[in-house]
Structures are given as C-alpha cells and as structure tokens.
Amino acid sequence: MDVDALEQALPPEAEEYMPDTSPSGFDLKGTLEALVQPVSERLRQALSAAMKTAGVLLMVCVMIALANTLDSSGSTPQYILFSGVAAIGAAALEDFDSFLNLGVGSLRSMADYSRVLLPVLASAAAAAGSVGGAAAKYGATAFFMNLLTEAADKVIVPGVCAYAALSIADGAVGNQALKTAKKLVKSVCGLLLTVLCMAFTAWLALSGVVSDSADALTARMAKTAVSTALPVVGGILSDAAGTLAAAAGALRSSIGVYGVAAVLCVCIGPFIALGTRYLLFKISAALCGCVSDKRLSTLVEDLSSCFGMILALNGTAALMMFMSIYSLIRTVV
C-alpha cells in the first residue's frame, strides 16, 4: 500500500492547514491546535464579508419602506418594488459564482482524494483480515461519491441557479406559478441529497454486516485449520499472523485519522464561508420582514436557501467520507 501517496495527493485546501504532516506518526492533537488560528481568521473574514452584504440587504429594505411612506395609497408602488428586488438580487448574487465554485470545488476535491485515501485504507483493512468487508465498503463509497458528483453537476448546481432566478422573478412579479416552481426545485434538490445519503448509509451498513461476518468466520476457520494441521508450528504461525493483523490494524487507524483530518480541512473553508452567509441572510430576512414588504423579506430568505443547498451538498459528501472512513477503521475480524 502506498501510504506516501496520501500526503502527495493532499488537496491544496488541506495543505493550507496540514503542512509538513504525514500519515505515519500523524499528530491529530497538534493539527487541531494548529487549525485554531487560521480557522479563526477565516471565520472573521467570512463574517465581515457576510455582514457587509447583509447590511446592504437590510438597508435596501429600509429605503423601500421609507419610499413607501411617501405614497398616499399605503401600498408599495410596483416600480419601487422592482427596484428593491433588483438591488437585493444584485447585492446577494454579486459573488454567487465564487461561492458556487467554492462548494463544487470542495466536493470534487473530496471525491478526488477519496480515490487515493480509500484504496490505501481498504488495503490496510484487508491486511488486517477484512478482505471482503474492505472491498465492499470501498466499492460502496466510490460508487456513491461518483453518483453524488454526477448529481451535483447535472441536477443540484443547475437547480440552485434555477431556484435563485425563480426567487428573484417571484419577488418582482409575485406569481403563484413561480412560487410553485421554486418550491418544486428546492424539494427535488433536497430529496435527491436525502435519498443518496440514506441509500449510502443502508448499503454501507448491510454490506458491512454481511462481509464482516464472512471475514470473521473465514479468519477463525483458517486459524483452526493451521493449528490442527501443524500442531506445534501451526500455533506459532497463527500467533504470528495475529500479530501482523494487529500491526495492520494500527496502521489502518493511523491512515483513517489522517484521512478524517484531511477531509475536515477540505470542508472547513466552504463550511465557514457558506454557513456564515446562510445564517446572516436568514437574520436579515427576519429583520427585513419587520420593516418592509413581505415579498422582499421572502426573497432574502429564498436567496439564503441557495447557500444552504450548496452547504448541504458539501455536508452530504463529507458525511459519506466520514462514515466510510469510520466504517473501515472499525472493521473487526
């Protein structure tokens, strides 16, 4: 197994937080302590940028509310509402492409790194005696990660863009058909991620139970056969094989911890950037609802859901990786 390949294939996002680290003798505590300062700085920058945008959204809503007070009819004139919707859409989606690329890039980085990490981890698990279990779990993760990447490219990312466009159109026009369409798009994206995650969890659990039981039975039968066939030497060989399996298990755990840290470092940047924007947009929507037209506050809330869907996409990929790594580490023979 090529353990050094894990360090060479480390994504650039993870190299920023894990410089000069290797799977052998990996110091998890030291890595987590080293994460505190750069993560705090990135969180501060993300909060600062999100608060500026949220402040602009709130200011637009306040200005629309003030303009509404000048109209004797008591309702927001359509041209003023159009102006507010345009301003909110422009402010919220000014750098939307960069956030979309950030989320999709993080997903692809995890998928690419899984093609290096999981074979090495599965080889270590197989060396520890779990041949069938390692193959089944690696195969399940590889299949579902490819499926998630395809779903992101063909369904979820276009769906997020369509949802943003429908939300802005609905904010300007207030058409029931647009409301139904945007709800449908959001439901499809959410349902797809949920189904993929549930299917992966079920497949991983079922394949693990069946293959781990078969591996355990095979290992016991092999040890019994060797000890019976060679009464003296067989016991020594059986103990030596057990020692080698234990050493392979220790290596498997070290590789798994290193892989968890790498995936965490890939996710942490997008999670901070998307999460802060999602939360602050939600807060802005609540505040806008207190001072302005409901259609404007609904628009801000809908745009926050765009960031939430990208965040959910990354969360699903990270969850699949963490579950697969944990499952391979916990493989017992």
Q: What is the pLDDT of residues 269-283, one digit of tens each?
A: 889 999 999 999 999
- Do 328 and 121 touch, CB atoms closer than 8 A? yes
pLDDT of residue 188: 93
| Structure token digits, residue 205 | 């659990």
pLDDT of residue 215: 45
- Selection from 54, 52, 35 nearest residue 303 by Cα: 54
Low-confidence ranges of the chain (pLDDT < 70): 1-3, 19-20, 22-28, 70-76, 127-133, 207-253, 331-333
CA count, 13 A, side-chain hemisphere, 284: 30
Q: What is the pLDDT of residues 212-251, one digit of tens each?
A: 544 444 444 444 443 444 444 444 334 433 443 333 344 4
Q: What is the pLDDT of residues 98-133, one digit of tens each?
A: 888 888 888 998 888 888 888 887 777 776 556 666
pLDDT of residue 71: 62
240 contact partners, CB below 8 Å, separation of at least 6 = none
pLDDT of residue 187: 93
